[in-house]
Structure 1
Amino acid sequence: MAEAGGEQGGAGVRARVNVPLRLKNDSGETAKIVSFRGLSDGLEHVAIEFGAVADIPLVRLHSECLTGDVLGSTRCDCGPQLQESLELLSVSGGILLYLRQEGRGIGLYNKLDAYWLQQHRGLDTFAANRKLNFSDDLRDYRPAAQMLQALGVPRVRLLSNNPDKSEQLRRYGIDVVDVVPTGVFPNERNIRYLRAKVEQHGHSIEITQEFA
């Protein structure tokens, strides 16, 4: 039977269930996957909890990326970041918020249109979004803050290279006491994407490899 949860600011825990995971580090971890009700955007975001939640847990906000997370696309670093986060949290404990924000909030079909523009028009990821009449990044992290509040987590150590995540969480009432960088996963197909994130949106990614 699913476990009911509390209510915070209109959002609350809907259910909490145990799910065994198969991770590359062979941890054989069982995580708790938490669903919610009353989130501001009405989407089906989930939290994945590892171990007992600490007073100031390590938290990763990960936006859904079908191509990277599921299909292993090398056009981005989403898949490796997700795997790294799950493996780290399975060992150290913490929470991963899996947010249904495909394509930085523009949706899967529009993201594929942006891919076409990158491939055939030479645009970078942000210019492609603008060509489709979207802003560079439509993601609103208020639902993430609501999820943390519903879980009784007002203070976090944030696992991220994206300064917008910490800024928005603080704006929505979450105390980000530390920011822990993720790994860097460059390859010849995503290097331009990574450089665009650094140069245009201030991501804390140090790129040392060079690709032809």
Structure 2
Amino acid sequence: MTDSVTVTADLAISLDGFIAGTGVTLDNPGGDGAEPLFEWIHNLASWRERQGMTGGEENRDSELMREWFDATGAVVMGRMMYDTGEKFWGDNPPFRTPVFVLTHRPRPSLVKEGGTTFTFVTDGIHSALDRAKEAAGGRNVDIAGGANTVRQYLAEGLVDELQLHVVPALLGDGLRLFEGLGPGRRTLEQVRVVGTPLATHLKYRFVAVGC
């Protein structure tokens, strides 16, 4: 039943609200000055496993990352995220699930090592989400990014749970997550707060106004 599938968005974010720096390009996918958003992830054991590497730190941060991997059955992302990530992911991307890429430029689906497939969807965010839910096998669908893609799903009220990994850094400029959502009140309830030396992990669930 696709109606029971939970739609998530899970992102690292700076203390001043940026999920990427300035100057995002194909060769600089995180943007200028955004290293603190991602450095904390790179030595986690669960992240290294997904990159085909061994070792790494087994700590609470790694547990939360592994929880996300294990719970996610399909992913939706924008074409910019796909284009900027493609050369870094290589032939064995870390998703290990079906990935649906929003795009205006159709291309054939791609099958990669480790169980990742990329399907390019040209008929909008609702179609991509429906297809992801069908493919998720009862697990979560994650709206991976970039910022504009996540905003579109937030604005339409299509995200059920939001997890933010707040990194103790101020970027000063870049791509903000919550700009341009449009009018309308969005109420969330707190599910969990986990603080570690690397990040503060905040998990929220969206609830209907008045509940």
TM-score by length of 1: 0.30
Question: Which structure's residues are more often strand, by fraction?
Answer: 2
Larger radius of gyration: 1
Higher relative contact order (CA 8 A, sep 6+): 2
Q: Which has the higher helix share?
A: 1
